[in-house]
Homo-oligomer: A and B are copies of this chain.
Amino acid sequence: MIVVMKQGATRAQVANVTARIEQLGCRAHLSEGEERTIIGVIGNGRPIDREPIERMDGVERTVPILRPFKLASRDFHPQDTLVSINGLAIGGRQLIVMAGPCAVESREQLLEAARAVKSGGGHVLRGGAFKPRTSPYSFQGLGEEGLRLLAAVREETGLPIVTEVMEPQMVPLVTTYADILQIGARNMQNYALLHAVGEAQRPVLLKRGMMSTIEELLMAAEYILSHGNDRVILCERGIRTFEQYTRNTLDISAVPLLKQLSHLPVVVDPSHGTGKWELVEPVSRAAVAAGADGLLIEVHPHPEQALSDGAQSLKPTRFADMMRGLQPIAEAVGRTL
Q: Which residues of A contact B (CB under 8 A)?
A: 2, 4, 7, 29, 31-36, 38, 40, 42-45, 47, 49, 51-56, 63, 65-66, 68, 75, 132-140, 166-169, 186-187, 189-192, 209-216, 219, 222-223, 226-227, 239-246, 249-257, 260-261, 273-274, 278-279, 282-283, 285-291, 303-311, 313, 325, 328-329, 331-333
Contacts and interface: CB of A to CB of B under 8 A. Distances in A.
A38 to B, nearest CB: 6
Nearest 6 interchain pairs by C-beta = A211-B211, A328-B332, A289-B289, A286-B286, A55-B304, A285-B289
Contact of A253 (B29, B190, B242, B283): B283
A153 to B, nearest CB: 23
Given A34-B43, A213-B243, A242-B242, A222 B136 contact: yes
Contacts of A53: 304
A199 to B, nearest CB: 13
A115 B278 CA distance: 40
B137 A47 contact: yes
Contact of A331 (B252, B304, B328): B328
A17 B252 CA distance: 32
Contacts of A35: 43, 66, 75
Contact of A243 (B52, B239, B282, B286): B239
B63 A2 contact: yes
Contact of A187 (B7, B190, B219): B190
A164 to B, nearest CB: 12
Nearest to A225: B136
Nearest to A63: B63
A181 to B, nearest CB: 15
Contacts of A246: 253, 257
Given A35-B66, A219-B134, A328-B332, A256 B278 contact: yes
A7 to B, nearest CB: 5
A65 to B, nearest CB: 6
